Amino acid sequence: MSFLVPFYSLFLFLSFICTYSAPFLLFQAFNWESWKREGGWYNSLSNSVTELASAGVTHVWLPPPTHSVSPQGYMPGRLYDLNSSSYGNQFDLKRLIKAFHQSGIKCIADIVINHRCAEKKDGRGIWCIFEGGTNDGNLDSGAPFEPAPDIDHINPTVQRELSDWMNWLKNDIGFDGWRLDFARGYSPQITKIYMDNTVPNFAVGEVWNSLSYRQDGKPNYNQDSHRNELAGWVRTAGGIVTAFDFTTKGILQQAVLDELWRLKDSNGNPPGMIGILPQNAVTFIDNHDTGSTQNIWPFPSNKIMQGYTYILTHPGIPSIFYDHFFQWGLKEEILKLTAIRRRNAIGPTSRVRILASDSDLYVAMIDEKIIMKIGSRYDVGNLVPQDFHIATSGQDYCVWEKKGAAYIITWSSNL
């Protein structure tokens, strides 16, 4: 039966291409403080399932589900213990996943497999006092993580046991795919092993490296090296997994500060990962690390809707952050953008034609179906043809649809 293996691999690869070419919307369904919710986060989130389905969300990213020495879940210990999670117990989790599935939404588990914590700290404050164990581990295959011991992913036994655990999360708990935390902590070749062994519906890696910066602290215009590193990680990991497009985030959050000329590369294309490998690029504005109460690398708070206008009209796989949708009062504006994306079948590989990229104005046409603009300049000149009409608008943003779209509204005065 070995002759069937290449055909199976080809079928698997093609199925992922078809999946990632279809309309796709990821939603991060937690923030850094969600573990504190009285009554449990899983139970609280169950009240939002119907609303997220109506918004067109196809995949929801849930927090780390296992026992952890930190309440947020990113310092895991007993991997099969889902009853010690600060977000709720195993029963609540399975019930939540079932509710999402009944509404047509896939569930993504936040998988923390770079490191693992013991029950006790040593004198340095590192969670590394395990019972038993050996000293014959291999060298780390990626970036170090100081607070806890790294997992020896080169060991075949470790690979098998982690794959078994991930498949248990799929087959018994109900998860459909993975968000790979701190994926630069182990080599992309290791990521490929887990992708092959678990065959997720969707997977995205967190490969967060710094952009290149000028002496004045602003990003360099050319970030090709940064986005090529992300694309290289994806390809080495087998070409099926996606990666968070940190290049686009870094450029976009600087560009909206009256530097919108940054949004066109030297070839006239989007400058982030979406400009070279859009079907594998997950775009986002903020997450539990960059925003929320950690606020490590936040998007300008008064420009958030310009950011969403960009990622929800452009190629790639856009991700919406819980805080922006449910806590910032932006839900209705975001919903209008997701409806436009669905209505016009804008997807990961949609085509972008940049019509203007000046300091105070960025205009692009996507798939010849919609035109979007962000920036403080009100007048777009003759860039928008007469057969396009406004579908939504707000502070320093606007989206036009080609005549015949489902609905037309009036251009608001606060554009």
**At 224, which amino acid appears?**
D
First and final CA of the chain: distance in angstroms?
62
The residue annotated as part of the active site, out of 92, 181, 245, 401, is 181
Q: Which of 197, 161, 160, 159 is nearest to 178 (CA)?
A: 197
Contact indicator for 35, 81 with CB cutoff of 8 Å: no
Q: Nearest CA to 309 among 294, 329, 330?
A: 330
Is-catalytic flag, 181? yes
In 3D space, the residue among 172, 52, 166 whose CA is nearest the CA of residue 111 turns out to be 166
- Written as one letter, the residue type at 244 is F
> How distant, in Å, are the alpha carbons of 13, 167, 239, 240 from that of 195?
11, 11, 10, 8
> Which pair of tokens denotes residue 217?
């602290």
Q: Are 279 and 241 in contact (CB under 8 A)?
A: no
Task: State the Cα–Cα distance between residues 353 and 275, nearest whole angstrom.
Answer: 11
Alpha-carbon span 151 to 82, nearest angstrom: 20
Q: Which of 92, 140, 206, 265 is catalytic?
A: 206
Q: Are 174 and 151 in contact (CB under 8 A)?
A: no
Q: Is 206 a catalytic residue?
A: yes
DSSP 319: E
Residues with catalytic annotation?
181, 206
